[in-house]
Amino acid sequence: MKIFKYKYSYYLVSQLIPGILIVGVFLWSIYQRILFPENILYRLLVIVMPVVILSTFVSLNTPHKVIIDKNMIHFYSFGMRHSYDLNKIKKISVKEFIFSDKYLVRLGEPSVLRGRYWISNNIIGHDELLKFFKEKEKSFAIQSCNISNKKSNKK
C-alpha cells in the first residue's frame, strides 16, 4: 500500500482555508441578498456559490491524500473518499500543465462529481505517483488499441 499526501500546512493553506472562504462568501451573499433583494450580484452569488461549494467539498477534485492499494485507488478529502477498482476502469488520462504545478487525472468516464482529480507537485511522493498514473495511462491505451485491432480483424 502506497500513501501519498500533502504536508498539513500545505493542505491547510491550499484547500481548507479556500473552502472556508467559499462558505463564508456564500453566507455573506445570503445576508446581503436579504438586505438588498434587488441587487443582481447577490442574487447571482446565492445561485452560483452552492455549485462552487458542491464542486469543492463533494467532488473531491483536490484530494489531500491518495492511497494505492493492490488494484484499488482511493482519493480522500474533507473526510470523504472516492474509490476506484483499477480492473474496472476503462481509461485513465493524465494532463500536465506547464505553467502550473498541478496535473489533472481523469479516471474512467468522469461525471460531474467524480473522476477528475487535481494533484499538485507538492504532494509527498509526487514523482512516484505521477509515474504510476502515466504507466496506467499507457497500459490502458495499449489495451484499448489491442481491443480495437481485434474488432477490426473480425470484420
pTM exceeding the 0.75 threshold for the entire prediction: yes
* pLDDT number for residue 4: 95
Alpha-carbon distance 38 to 113, whole Å? 32
Higher pLDDT, 127 or 60: 127
Number of Cβ within 10 Å of residue 143's Cβ equals 12
* pLDDT number for residue 147: 54
74-103 pLDDT, tens digit each:
999 888 899 999 888 888 999 988 788 889
* pLDDT number for residue 119: 92
> Could you tell me if 78 and 19 are in contact, meaning their C-beta atoms sit under 8 angstroms apart?
yes
3-57 pLDDT, tens digit each:
999 988 888 888 888 889 999 999 999 999 999 999 999 999 999 999 888 877 7
Alpha-carbon distance 108 to 123, whole Å? 23
> Could you tell me if 119 and 66 are in contact, meaning their C-beta atoms sit under 8 angstroms apart?
yes
Domains, the chain, ordered by start: 2-154 (2.30.29)
* pLDDT number for residue 75: 94
How buried is 8 (Cβ within 10 angstroms: 0-12 exposed, 13-18 middle, 19+ buried)? exposed
Q: Which helix (H) or strand (E) holds 67?
A: strand 65-69
112-144 pLDDT, tens digit each:
778 899 999 889 999 999 999 999 888 877 776
